[in-house]
Chains A and B, each alone.
Chain A
Amino acid sequence: MATHAPPVEFALPQVLTYPASTPPFLVAQGAEGRLYKTTHITSSRPCALKYRPSKSYRHPILDARLTKARIQAEAKVLDRCCREGVPVPAVYALDAGGGWLMMEWVDGVPVRQGINVWLGERPEDDAVPDAEVADETPLVDLMNRIGEAVGALHRTGVIHGDLTTSNMMLRPWAGGQSNGVSGEDGEKKKAVGGDVILIDFGLATQSVADEDRAVDLYVLERAFASTHPRAERLFTHVLEAYKQAYKKAPSVIHKLEDVRMRGRKKSMLG
């Protein structure tokens, strides 16, 4: 879901119009949902509110059915992940009929941004001298944390459906681990530091099929290659960490080979 400046001022969901709620801030606008930042219960507890407005083009019964089912499905998946220790935002409240879901606010920046800050200063060519390899450890560590997070997700039987580096947040470590390292180096290390939190489960499904897991990994691999071509070779670390985190990984990786060969090209008939 790409974000664009809203063409018009949107009507707020009713829950955000109550005088007690903190003035909402529109964070993102996608094709079918809007994300607001507001607070939950107390004004010091920030939260994210995902709102699926009703679509006038759809039949009202179909619209209500879809909105309700999608909010419920997303909440169920998040709840399941939370219970099983997958790093996702906790669900605070929801009103499926009203089309909204309130979640824990995740601080930090998307992984995409962190990686881009890290890569920012590097020369274009991919040939990295040996001396620089050690220098890459923080980025490799990040790849490992991504692999662990996805491994934990698949272990619980959840398929994300839209794994990209934009749908993962980097929540800064308390106190910051780059203490003691100062200057530009420290800044760059800080950019790729933090816990990986998976977000946006709008397309998530529950499945235990290797095929679905492999497609999930393939989507991430493709997104990674197109978003961070210069870090593409480090993607193997994601798969390595995935194998460590998830014991049925080998058969998924095997399936991934098939999915890669097939791509998403379907030959057309008729």
Chain B
Amino acid sequence: MDTTKKKRRIALGCEGSANKLGIGIIAHDPVTNEPTVLSNVRHTFVSPPGTGFLPKDTAQHHRAFFVRVAKQALANAGVRPSELDCICYTRGPGMGAPLTSVAVAARTLALLWGKELVGVNHCVGHIEMGRAITGAANPVVLYVSGGNTQVIAYAEQRYRIFGEALDIAVGNCLDRFARTLEISNDPAPGYNIEQLAKKGGRVLLDLPYAVKGMDCSFSGILTRADELAAVMKAGGRGPDGETFTQADLCFSLQETVFAMLVEITERAMAHVGSNQVLIVGGVGCNERLQEMMGAMAAERGGSVYATDERFCIDNGIMIAHAGLLAYETGFKTLLEESTCTQRFRTDEVFVKWRK
């Protein structure tokens, strides 16, 4: 009788570590702990073709849209501020100025409504949301986005990093190549590369392949891809003596970098003896990556778990979910400690909510 009367717990999450401003509201069932997504609103700062998003402009975008997005999230969820248990925000890692803007806004909400604050690690947010949506119990996690490339497995209350990019993130490599080709950043540069790559495939252009154990490197590949793009513009010829197109370049780049990601993931899976793999982060939306990962997992007698753009791409709901998990174990961030940081490693977080 008592348990049925217990209120569901509700959290609002604010995310703004890169060019997406996301606010989401999640509810956890008091009995089963099942999460329910009440709302998930996102507004993306899109820079013109050939350019990237700069911290200053991105922060300005987040400040300008925060109130609108927050009101929309509350309206979509049909929740009044008084019903919330806590306000969760991204503490890091990310770009300094956008993080600060959203952290200040989250503090304001907490003070305004008299709620507790919970600072969340962005990477842990991705992992927890991916687990909740897909139902993967204890997978090896490949976290791939514009800022991060990590192969992660859970052990003894921490998400441990088995392998990572030694220089730029894979998403950064793709984003910057989209800039070289001056293709649109709307809805996302990586999405447009994916669509272009579907038209390629006649040739595979030779790009460096840089895997070192469970780590990998992407900056050399980008340099070579940029050089090939210059060759293409000058009307140069590919390995088969024919001219090649943007589509061939995008295809070759995707085939090479995704093969590297699948290889390091497989090595981590062999190392920890797991046959489940979960892909999270913006690059995780890419269907070619999901397909390749699926083929690898199938060979190992396992399966791949992936989500769609609502949860793969940065969003507020994942921050709300991970924050609420921590809040339920008694974790909270005091106002005077509610800072944010550009550097915040995934393995720094003590994962109290898992056994």
A side interface size, CB within 8 A: 26
Within 8 A of A (CB), among B297-313: 299-301
Complex Cα gap A149–B271 (Å): 26
Q: Is B342 an interface residue (CB 8 A)?
A: yes
Q: Which residues of A contact B (CB under 8 A)?
A: 1-2, 4, 7-8, 30-32, 55-59, 61-62, 65-66, 161-162, 203, 265-270
Report the minimal beta-carbon distance from A67 to chain B, rounded to whole angstroms: 12
Report the minimal beta-carbon distance from B100 to chain A, rounded to whole angstroms: 14
Report the minimal beta-carbon distance from B56 to chain A, rounded to whole angstroms: 15
Interface contact A59-B345, CB-CB below 8 Å? no
Interface contact B172-A59, CB-CB below 8 Å? no
Residues in B whose Cβ lies below 8 Å from that of A57:
259, 262, 291-293, 295-296, 299
Residues in B whose Cβ lies below 8 Å from that of A270:
17-18, 93-95, 146-148, 169, 172, 342
Complex Cα gap A65–B95 (Å): 38
Q: Is B164 an interface residue (CB 8 A)?
A: yes
Complex Cα gap A61–B255 (Å): 10
B side interface size, CB within 8 A: 42
Q: Is B241 an interface residue (CB 8 A)?
A: no
Interface contact B344-A268, CB-CB below 8 Å? yes
Closest A residue to B267 by beta carbon equals A31
Residues in A whose Cβ lies below 8 Å from that of B147:
268-270
Complex Cα gap A269–B92 (Å): 9
Residues in B whose Cβ lies below 8 Å from that of A56:
295, 299
Q: Is B266 an interface residue (CB 8 A)?
A: yes
Complex Cα gap A1–B263 (Å): 13
> What does the 1/0 interface line of B1-40 toward A look like (CB < 8 Å)?
0000000000000000110000000000000000000000
Q: Which residues of B contact A (CB under 8 A)?
A: 17-18, 93-95, 146-148, 164, 166, 169, 172, 204, 206, 209, 212-213, 255-256, 259, 262-263, 266-267, 269-273, 275, 291-293, 295-296, 299-301, 342-345
Complex Cα gap A2–B271 (Å): 5
Complex Cα gap A1–B273 (Å): 10
Interface contact A31-B269, CB-CB below 8 Å? yes
Complex Cα gap A57–B260 (Å): 11
Interface contact B301-A269, CB-CB below 8 Å? no
Complex Cα gap A228–B263 (Å): 29
Residues in B whose Cβ lies below 8 Å from that of A32:
263, 266-267
Residues in B whose Cβ lies below 8 Å from that of A62:
204, 209, 255-256, 259
Interface contact A66-B296, CB-CB below 8 Å? no
Report the minimal beta-carbon distance from B147 to chain A, rounded to whole angstroms: 3
Interface contact A268-B301, CB-CB below 8 Å? no
Given contacts A62-B259, A269-B147, A7 and B300 within 8 Å (CB-CB): yes
Residues in A whose Cβ lies below 8 Å from that of B164:
266
Complex Cα gap A32–B270 (Å): 9
Interface contact B166-A266, CB-CB below 8 Å? yes
Interface contact A8-B301, CB-CB below 8 Å? yes
Complex Cα gap A66–B210 (Å): 11
Interface contact B296-A55, CB-CB below 8 Å? yes
Residues in A whose Cβ lies below 8 Å from that of B295:
56-57
Interface contact A2-B270, CB-CB below 8 Å? yes
Given contacts A7-B300, A59-B255, A269 and B267 within 8 Å (CB-CB): no
Residues in A whose Cβ lies below 8 Å from that of B273:
2, 4
Complex Cα gap A4–B94 (Å): 38
The 5 listed contacts between A and B (C-beta, < 8 Å) are A1-B270, A57-B293, A62-B256, A62-B259, A268-B148
Complex Cα gap A268–B275 (Å): 28
Residues in A whose Cβ lies below 8 Å from that of B263:
31-32, 55
Report the minimal beta-carbon distance from A210 to chain B, rounded to whole angstroms: 18
Complex Cα gap A268–B91 (Å): 13
Interface contact B270-A7, CB-CB below 8 Å? no
Report the minimal beta-carbon distance from B342 to chain A, rounded to whole angstroms: 6
Complex Cα gap A30–B267 (Å): 8
Interface contact B275-A7, CB-CB below 8 Å? yes
Complex Cα gap A65–B263 (Å): 15
Complex Cα gap A78–B289 (Å): 35
Residues in B whose Cβ lies below 8 Å from that of A58:
255, 259, 262, 292
Complex Cα gap A213–B301 (Å): 38
Residues in A whose Cβ lies below 8 Å from that of B342:
269-270
Interface contact A161-B213, CB-CB below 8 Å? yes
Interface contact B204-A30, CB-CB below 8 Å? no
Closest B residue to A268 by beta carbon equals B93
Interface contact B259-A162, CB-CB below 8 Å? no
Residues in A whose Cβ lies below 8 Å from that of B169:
270
Complex Cα gap A265–B345 (Å): 9
Report the minimal beta-carbon distance from A252 to chain B, rounded to whole angstroms: 19
Interface contact B204-A61, CB-CB below 8 Å? yes
Complex Cα gap A265–B209 (Å): 23
Complex Cα gap A62–B147 (Å): 26
